[in-house]
């Protein structure tokens, strides 16, 4: 009997297709199939999402990468501190270091322009699979098919957007192209920072605690979205007025308890839950270790060149935070996949699938070759791997080289006849890139740029003979001289100068006498070939992955959620602790007492003295959690999230706001590949800690009042 149970458990853990309760990042159109009442939801699915009436989803905001929500009738938005980090960085200087000190607007007039930030609110969602697939007709060749589909998508979205810059249309494909859904958003371009706590609260514990539990981080920031008086999502202007959202979230009346039902609405970025062992092997053996190694090198370099410069530290802060975050995540993936024999388990799972397929001649005919065809595609990647790595890492070769390469690339694309032009380089997209160009300069610090370009060229020089970028031979023969001449003479450090270059021809760019454009021109054909290789790989692999999913359906026939792709998703799960190791049991709550315990006075555990004073005086206002007899700081629950969900509203069974999701736990770092009921947790900041800090620490009770009325 025991053996039977063990075998059953093994089967379940091998089988990503028996979807667990509480697993999944579901589309809004799938809510009805989830039986949520049974798990404790006190609302109807139509209270959450209703295309005909205001519902909770109308309060959910996408920040272009992160998630957020409206929490007042006057456009107040709450998200994570790390989501507003870029805006704080762009507004910071040596005199005003908002990253370290935080920012509080005492009046509306003092709110700080969140440069580069947009708030998107979903207006419409529609399945348009038939239209899209019809356009591809009976075309068999995956690359050609992909191209036609991209063109249809481009034409459809451009027609919807028209000449409005406050409308954003996106057609996202689900299940590797089995379904296409149109999402239309209203885009508010005037977003302002209202309150960001100091880094010693908003990012307490920084990289030491990142991806970890127990956690004690006040990872939140308040923003406000503004619109023109006529309701359009205009750019920043003092005449703009706060957005009046169709719906906004109300703060929960009750404190969070162990076992409570919770749900999250947000925008998870990307998962790979339905991949094969070929893909896993590639990532585990090549891609992740390579990225960890590269990022570590870049981080060391950034630390070295900014050690004595506060300005330098501010300029590279955002790049650094991103690299550190991904590096630790990928390290964790490697560890957890290795420890749990993930690859071996995948292979075993596939052999069971193969047995099933082989038993049925019809299925064998259809799907018998899919796994080996996928592997064969991965094998082709090996041939150009070293060169591909260098070309891919170009985005970390310094701000100015990146700018030169992308302007030159756009200009060359524009010079191609329509039939050969990549639909992603439409005039509209080039225009958008041009508009955003100035944002790159907030991260520009010349010494870091020089060092990154030098590093990249050294990598070019070290390429194996059969993958050499020969057009760069004479540049890499004297790297230091080239870098010095490039930066000593460049005019590209002026963003207006750079912007105007989008309207030049490639010949004019080459004739500028800018070494960085010489570099861009010399790299062009290799980059172009690389992108074509990538496009071909993507089209072919997507086609095969779609068939792999069909085979899995034939085997298990289970209703699935699509992999995350930056579209709005729903996930639910109970508040729960977990057992990270033998004899160790984690509770689901941390408290202010824990913040104090971690305090060393040294960054990143340098709690502000005022917080200590509030703690000593037990000046907690109405924010104490009676069961903990303390303020709840962070909690863990079983929602299924990934990067992009950061800042998402966490709600209770009644749809009231209880917190903000901001992280996942280290023990479940392979969660993008497979859900783990026992180990995977979402880490959220309790809304009561957010409000305590806002009212008692920052003295901004007026924001609490704006959210809650008179409590
Ligand atoms: N790990 C979080 C995520 O990706 C980001 C946390 C940001 N904080 C930090 N210390 N880097 O979603």
By 3-state DSSP, what share of the chain in percent is helix, strand and coil, each rounded to 5? 50, 15, 35
C-alpha of residue 611 to centroid of ligand 1, in Å: 23
Instruction: Please state, rounded to an integer, the average pLDDT across all residues of the chain.
Output: 95
Query: ∠75-77-80 over CA atoms, to 5°?
Result: 170
Q: How confident is the model at residue 394 (pLDDT cuts 50, 70, 90)?
A: confident
Residue 364 to residue 357: CA distance in whole angstroms: 5
Q: Answer for the pair 119, 68: CB distance below 8 angstroms, yes or no.
A: yes
Active site (annotated) includes residue 646: yes
- Ligand 1 proximity of 209 Cβ (cutoff 6 Å): no
Q: How confident is the model at residue 710 (pLDDT cuts 50, 70, 90)?
A: low
Dihedral, 704, 706, 710, 711 alpha carbons, nearest 10: -40
Ligand 1, residue 205: give the atom nearest the CA.
10
Residue 609: DSSP 8-state: H
CATH class held by domain 2-118+189-272+560-708:
mainly beta
Ligand 1, residue 85: give the atom nearest the CA.
7
Whose CA is closest to atom 3 on ligand 1? 663
Q: Tens digits of per-residue pLDDT, 101-113?
A: 999 999 999 999 9
Q: Tens digits of per-residue pLDDT, 308-337?
A: 999 999 999 999 999 999 999 999 999 999
- Ligand 1 proximity of 321 Cβ (cutoff 6 Å): yes
Q: How confident is the model at residue 556 (pLDDT cuts 50, 70, 90)?
A: confident
For the chain, the domains span: 2-118+189-272+560-708, 119-188, 277-554
Looking at residue 422, its pLDDT comes to 87
Handedness of CA 507, 509, 514, 517 (dihedral sign): negative
Beta strands, E only, 560-654: 569-574, 578-581, 584-586, 589-591, 632-637, 649-652
Quickly tell me which residue has 């005492």 as its tokens.
106
C-alpha of residue 214 to centroid of ligand 1, in Å: 14
- Ligand 1 proximity of 276 Cβ (cutoff 6 Å): no
Dihedral, 655, 657, 663, 665 alpha carbons, nearest 10: -60
Q: What is the mean pLDDT of residues 589-610?
A: 98
Q: Tens digits of per-residue pLDDT, 630-664?
A: 999 999 999 999 999 999 999 999 999 999 999 99
Instruction: Please report, for residues 76, 155, 184, 402, the alpha-carbon distance to residue 424 in angstroms, rounded to integers and kept in the order given.
Output: 34, 11, 19, 18
C-alpha of residue 80 to centroid of ligand 1, in Å: 10
> Where on the phi/psi map is residue 230: left (φ > 0), alpha (ψ -120 to 50), or beta?
alpha
HEC assignment per residue over 162-202: CCCCCEEEEEEEECCCCEEEEEEEEEECEEEEEEECCHHHH
- Ligand 1 proximity of 643 Cβ (cutoff 6 Å): yes
Residue 276 to residue 59: CA distance in whole angstroms: 37
Quickly tell me which residue has 């047995």 as its tokens.
355
C-alpha of residue 325 to centroid of ligand 1, in Å: 6
Q: Answer for the pair 682, 573: CB distance below 8 angstroms, yes or no.
A: yes
Ligand 1, residue 664: give the atom nearest the CA.
1
Six-digit token string for 704 = 């609490």
- Ligand 1 proximity of 203 Cβ (cutoff 6 Å): yes
Beta strands, E only, 529-623: 569-574, 578-581, 584-586, 589-591
**Residue 17 reports pLDDT greater than 70:** no
Residue 456 to residue 459: CA distance in whole angstroms: 5
Q: How confident is the model at residue 15 (pLDDT cuts 50, 70, 90)?
A: very low
Looking at residue 13, its pLDDT comes to 38
**Residue 166 reports pLDDT greater than 70:** yes
Q: Tens digits of per-residue pLDDT, 208-252?
A: 999 999 999 999 999 999 999 999 999 999 999 999 999 999 999
- Ligand 1 proximity of 206 Cβ (cutoff 6 Å): yes
Handedness of CA 400, 403, 406, 409 (dihedral sign): negative
C-alpha of residue 480 to centroid of ligand 1, in Å: 35
Looking at residue 369, its pLDDT comes to 97
Six-digit token string for 537 = 């790989």
Whose CA is closest to atom 4 on ligand 1? 643
- Ligand 1 proximity of 330 Cβ (cutoff 6 Å): no
Residue 498 to residue 514: CA distance in whole angstroms: 12
Residue 575: DSSP 8-state: B
Residue 628 to residue 626: CA distance in whole angstroms: 5
Q: Answer for the pair 332, 289: CB distance below 8 angstroms, yes or no.
A: no
Looking at residue 7, its pLDDT comes to 37
Q: Which of 653, 666, 692, 709 is nearest to 257 (CA)?
A: 653
Ligand 1, residue 328: give the atom nearest the CA.
1
Residue 200 to residue 175: CA distance in whole angstroms: 41
Six-digit token string for 346 = 């995948």
Looking at residue 328, its pLDDT comes to 97
What does the longest C-alpha to C-alpha distance in the chain come to? 79
Q: What is the mean pLDDT of residues 398-408?
A: 98
Q: Answer for the pair 298, 323: CB distance below 8 angstroms, yes or no.
A: yes
Q: Which of 95, 290, 282, 98 is nearest to 194 (CA)?
A: 98
Looking at residue 137, its pLDDT comes to 87
Ligand 1, residue 82: give the atom nearest the CA.
7
Contacts (Cβ under 8 Å, ≥6 apart) of 205:
212, 215, 216, 217, 598, 604, 605
From 420-434, 500-514, 623-637, the region with the lowest mean pLDDT:
420-434
Residue 34 to residue 26: CA distance in whole angstroms: 9
**Residue 345 reports pLDDT greater than 90:** yes
Q: Which of 268, 128, 240, 244 is nearest to 186 (CA)?
A: 244
Q: Answer for the pair 194, 78: CB distance below 8 angstroms, yes or no.
A: no
Q: Which of 518, 495, 497, 515 is nearest to 506 (CA)?
A: 518
Six-digit token string for 651 = 């709600």
Residue 666 to residue 685: CA distance in whole angstroms: 17
From 434-443, 536-545, 557-566, the region with the lowest mean pLDDT:
557-566
Point out the catalytic residue in the list 81, 82, 216, 637. Answer: 82
C-alpha of residue 219 to centroid of ligand 1, in Å: 9
- Ligand 1 proximity of 663 Cβ (cutoff 6 Å): yes
Looking at residue 11, its pLDDT comes to 36
Tell me the chain's radius of gyration from C-alpha atoms. Answer: 26
Q: Which of 707, 696, 688, 711 is nearest to 257 (CA)?
A: 688
C-alpha of residue 659 to centroid of ligand 1, in Å: 16
Point out the catalytic residue in the list 58, 146, 209, 219. Answer: 219
What is the per-residue DSSP string for 427-470? Answer: HHHHHHHHHHHHHHGGG--HHHHHHHHHHHHHHHHTS-GGG--G
C-alpha of residue 324 to centroid of ligand 1, in Å: 9
Q: What is the mean pLDDT of residues 12-23?
A: 58
Residue 330 to residue 176: CA distance in whole angstroms: 24
- Ligand 1 proximity of 325 Cβ (cutoff 6 Å): yes
Active site (annotated) includes residue 82: yes
What is the per-residue DSSP string for 221-261? Answer: EEEEEEE-TTS--PPS-TT-EE---S----B-SS---TT-E
Residue 177 to residue 135: CA distance in whole angstroms: 13
Per the model's pLDDT, the better-predicted residue between 67 and 12 turns out to be 67
Six-digit token string for 620 = 């907690």
Query: What percentage of the chain reaches a pLDDT higher than 70?
Result: 97
Looking at residue 423, its pLDDT comes to 84
Six-digit token string for 371 = 């796994």
Looking at residue 9, its pLDDT comes to 36
Q: What is the mean pLDDT of residues 296-306?
A: 98
Active site (annotated) includes residue 219: yes
Looking at residue 342, its pLDDT comes to 95
Six-digit token string for 612 = 């200590």
């Amino acid at each position: 009997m025991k053996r039977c149970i063990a075998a059953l458990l093994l089967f379940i853990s091998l089988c990503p297709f028996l979807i667990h309760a509480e697993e999944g990042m579901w589309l809004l159109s799938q809510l009805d199939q989830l039986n949520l009442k049974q798990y404790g939801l006190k609302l109807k699915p139509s209270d959450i999402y209703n295309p005909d009436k205001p519902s909770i989803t109308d309060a959910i905001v996408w920040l272009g990468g992160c998630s957020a929500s409206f929490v007042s009738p006057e456009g107040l938005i709450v998200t994570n501190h790390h989501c507003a980090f870029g805006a704080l960085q762009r507004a910071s200087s040596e005199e005003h270091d908002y990253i370290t000190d935080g920012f509080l607007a005492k009046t509306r007039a003092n709110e700080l322009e969140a440069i580069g930030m947009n708030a998107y609110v979903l207006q419409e969602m529609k399945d348009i699979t038939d239209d899209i697939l019809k356009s591809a007709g009976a075309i068999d060749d995956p690359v050609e098919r992909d191209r036609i589909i991209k063109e249809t998508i481009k034409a459809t979205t451009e027609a919807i957007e028209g000449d409005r810059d406050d409308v954003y249309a996106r057609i996202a494909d689900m299940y590797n192209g089995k379904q296409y859904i149109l999402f239309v958003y209203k885009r508010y371009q005037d977003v302002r920072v209202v309150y960001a706590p100091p880094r010693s609260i908003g990012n307490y514990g920084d990289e030491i605690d990142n991806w970890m539990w127990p956690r004690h981080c006040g990872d939140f920031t308040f923003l406000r979205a503004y619109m023109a008086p006529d309701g359009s999502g205009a750019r920043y202007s003092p005449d703009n007025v706060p957005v009046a959202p169709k719906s906004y979230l109300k703060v929960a009346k009750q404190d969070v308890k162990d076992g409570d039902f919770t749900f999250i609405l947000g925008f998870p970025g990307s998962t790979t839950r339905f991949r094969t062992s070929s893909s896993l092997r590639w990532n585990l053996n090549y891609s992740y270790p390579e990225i960890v190694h590269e990022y570590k090198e870049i981080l060391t370099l950034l630390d070295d060149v900014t050690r004595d410069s506060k300005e330098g530290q501010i300029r590279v802060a955002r790049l650094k935070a991103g690299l550190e975050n991904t590096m630790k995540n990928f390290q964790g993936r490697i560890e957890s996949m290795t420890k749990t024999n993930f690859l071996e388990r995948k292979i075993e799972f596939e052999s069971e699938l193969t047995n099933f397929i082989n038993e049925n001649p019809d299925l064998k005919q259809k799907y018998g070759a899919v796994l080996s065809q996928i592997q064969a595609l991965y094998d082709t990647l090996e041939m150009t791997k070293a060169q591909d790595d260098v070309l891919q890492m170009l985005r970390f070769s310094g701000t100015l080289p990146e700018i030169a390469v992308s302007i030159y690339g756009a200009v060359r694309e524009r010079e191609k006849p329509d039939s050969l032009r990549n639909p992603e380089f439409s005039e509209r997209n080039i225009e958008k890139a041009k508009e955003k160009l100035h944002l790159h300069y907030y991260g520009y610090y010349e010494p870091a740029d020089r060092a990154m370009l030098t590093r990249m060229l050294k990598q070019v020089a070290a390429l194996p003979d059969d993958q050499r970028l020969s057009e760069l031979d004479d540049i890499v023969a004297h790297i230091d001289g080239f870098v010095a001449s490039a930066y000593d003479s460049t005019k590209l450090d002026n963003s207006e100068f750079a912007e105007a270059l989008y309207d030049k021809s490639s010949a004019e760019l080459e004739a500028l006498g800018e070494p960085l454009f010489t570099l861009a021109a010399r790299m062009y054909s290799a980059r172009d070939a690389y992108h074509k290789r990538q496009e071909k790989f993507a089209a072919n692999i997507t086609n095969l992955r779609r068939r792999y999913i069909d085979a899995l359906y034939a085997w298990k026939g289970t209703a699935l959620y699509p992999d995350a792709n930056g579209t709005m998703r729903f996930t639910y799960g109970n508040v729960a602790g977990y057992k990270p190791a033998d004899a160790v049991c984690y509770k689901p709550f941390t408290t202010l007492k824990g913040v104090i315990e971690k305090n060393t006075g040294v960054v990143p555990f340098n709690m502000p003295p005022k917080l200590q004073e509030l703690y000593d005086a037990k000046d907690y206002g109405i924010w104490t959690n009676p069961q903990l007899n303390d303020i709840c700081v962070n909690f863990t629950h079983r929602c299924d999230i990934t990067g992009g969900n950061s800042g998402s509203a966490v709600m209770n069974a009644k749809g009231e706001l209880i917190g903000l999701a901001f992280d996942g736990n280290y023990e479940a770092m392979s969660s993008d590949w497979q859900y783990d009921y026992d180990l995977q947790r979402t880490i959220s900041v309790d809304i009561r800690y957010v409000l305590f800090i806002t009212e008692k620490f920052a003295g901004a009770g007026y924001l609490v009042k704006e959210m809650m009325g008179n409590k």
